[in-house]
Amino acid sequence: MTLYEKITTLYTELTDADFAPEGTIMLQNDSDGRGDYIKEWNHPTLAKPTQEQLDGVQ
């Protein structure tokens, strides 16, 4: 499951607009072996998920 899928599973109210280039959440992958990560989280009401929350998503 990708990071995007984990986040949208945790927060079902998120929409495509939140992840758009001018959206409130910016994911990124720098092709350096670290994989996908949250670069910026600027959502006005939802808290940035913790690594524990993300790891708990099946």
Partner 1 sequence: MTISIKPTASGSTIEQDGSTILTVDGSGNVDVANNLTVTGNVPVNNTAPAFFSYPSAAVSVSSATPTKIPFNLTDFNTGDYDTTNYRFTPSVAGYYQVNAHAYFGTSVTDQQQVWIGLYKNGSAYMYASVQNASGNDNLSPSISTLIYLNGSTDYVEIYVRHGQAGATKDAGSFGRAFNGFSAFLARAA
Note the residues at the interface with partner 1 (CB under 8 A): 2-5, 8, 16, 19-21, 26-32, 36
6: which DSSP letter? H
From the CB of 36, what's the least distance to partner 1, in Å? 5
From the CB of 14, what's the least distance to partner 1, in Å? 10
Give the CA dihedral 38, 39, 43, 44, nearest 10 degrees.
130
Cα–Cα distance between 38 and 23 in angstroms, integer?
A: 13
From the CB of 21, what's the least distance to partner 1, in Å? 5
